[in-house]
Each structure stands twice: as C-alpha cells, then as structure tokens.
Amino acid sequence: MQALRKQLILWSAVLLLAVVAAFLLPRLKLLEDAGYVLIGWGQWEIELTAVALVLIFVIGFVLFYAAIRLVGLLIRLPVVMRQRREQARSEAAFQSLIQGLRQASEGNWEQAERQLIEHAAVSAHSLVHYLTAARAAHRRGATKARDEYLRKAIEEAPDAELAAKLTAAELHLESGDFNRALESLKRLEKIAPANAQVLKLLHQVYVQLGEWEALTRLIPRLKKNKVLMEADLRLLE
C-alpha cells in the first residue's frame, strides 16, 4: 500500500509537469542573445531567464508533492489517530493486567481486583482479567462481584467457557457450595468428558456430598485419564 501511494504521487507529479510543459512549450521563445525565455499568452508576455524557469519548475514540483503528501496525511489522520488511541488503550490494559496479577500474587485482593477490572473491557486478554478478578473477589468474600466477573468472562470469550466454568466450580468448591460446584461440573462433563481437571473436581465434589454411587461410576474414567494416583484409586475401590 505504501509503495502504491508513492507511485501514485510520482506519476501525478510527472503528469503535472507534462501538462505544464504542454501548456508552456508552444508559448516559449528562447532569446538568442542572453538565454532568456519568453512566455506569451494572448497579449501578455513574460520574460524569464532559463535558470528562473527551471527554478519555477522545481519549486512547482516540490509544492505539488508537498500538497499531495498533505492531502494524504489529512485523509489518513482519522485512521492514524484511532490506531494511536487503540494502541494506548491496549498498553494501559496490558499494564493493568500485569499490576493486577502482581497484586493478586501478593495477596492484595482488593487492589488486584480494582487493577484487573479497570481496563478489562478493552483488553485483548479480557478472559484473564475477569477470571483473576473473580478469584480476587472470592478471596475477599465478595461473592456477588465474583459471579459477575465469571459471567463477563464467558460473555467476552464464549470459546473459553471451559476455563470460566472450571474456575467457577473451583471457587464454589472452595467456599463449600458443593451443589453449585456440581451443577457447573455436570455441564462441563458434557463439554469435556475426558478433561482431567473436570474429573478431579467431580471426584472432590462427590466425596464432599457423599455421592458414593456416582463416585463409583466415575472411577473407570479417573483410571483411564490418570487423574489420581494409584494409591488414591485403591482407597476408592
């Protein structure tokens, strides 16, 4: 695209010079004695030195080229400004993510949540923002905010439903809400029946709920997908 634009400018300049030359040449008369050029137009005549005429051509070309560049810049200006704004937003979102992850790793849950949510909506990594913010909200006991972030994570990245609902199941399990954890895991079991993390969490929920019959049916898949150690499997059997 850039090369095409340069070629367009070059050929436009050549065309302009050709038009000017076609206009002036029939009207030019070189004065034999002093290297002057006489330009005639009707009753008007302009006498110039050959050097002055060349300078006029050069200056005209430069002005034309500058005008073309200026017009091109003005045409591109809205796009350039939009790209710069988007780049600035992306950079701010990335820095927000880095700071939020650092705060979360240090256990500063409230600060982490605030940092992560600030630019989550415009981030290219919104899923990470929302899932980490959900964990931070969960750690500080804000279950309503946690569930809202999990919902937004699925909205922003529908193809990452497994990651979002696994996080939800983990947090429900951690908070002792075993029925909600089981509800999420049952849906995930249909999406990814061989996923090791889904099976591992199902095992934990069944144990907590005392669902021994369901746990017995789960054991073959735990073995097949090597979710638990052999010693743990023998205990279940």
Asked if the model's pLDDT at residue 90 lies above 50, the reply is yes
pLDDT digits (tens, 9 = 90+) for 9-31: 655 665 566 555 555 545 444 44
Question: In angstroms, rounded to a whole number, what is the distance separating the alpha carbons of residues 62 and 69?
Answer: 10
Q: Report, as an integer, the average pLDDT of 129-143.
A: 91
Q: Where are the domains of the chain?
A: 162-237
Asked if the model's pLDDT at residue 164 lies above 70, the reply is yes
Question: In angstroms, rounded to a whole number, what is the distance separating the alpha carbons of residues 218 and 212?
Answer: 10
pTM of the entire predicted model: 0.62
Residues 6 or more apart whose CB falls under 8 angstroms from that of 193 comprise 221
Dump the DSSP string for 162-194: HHHHHHHHHHHHHTT-HHHHHHHHHHHHHH-TT
Residues 6 or more apart whose CB falls under 8 angstroms from that of 20 comprise 57, 60
Average pLDDT, the chain: 77
CATH H-level, domain 162-237: superfamily: Tetratricopeptide repeat domain (1.25.40.10)
Question: In angstroms, rounded to a whole number, what is the distance separating the alpha carbons of residues 199 and 218?
Answer: 8
Question: In angstroms, rounded to a whole number, what is the distance separating the alpha carbons of residues 19 and 26?
Answer: 12
* 9 in Cβ contact with 68 (< 8 Å): yes
**How many other β-carbons are positioned within 10 Å of the β-carbon of residue 219?**
15
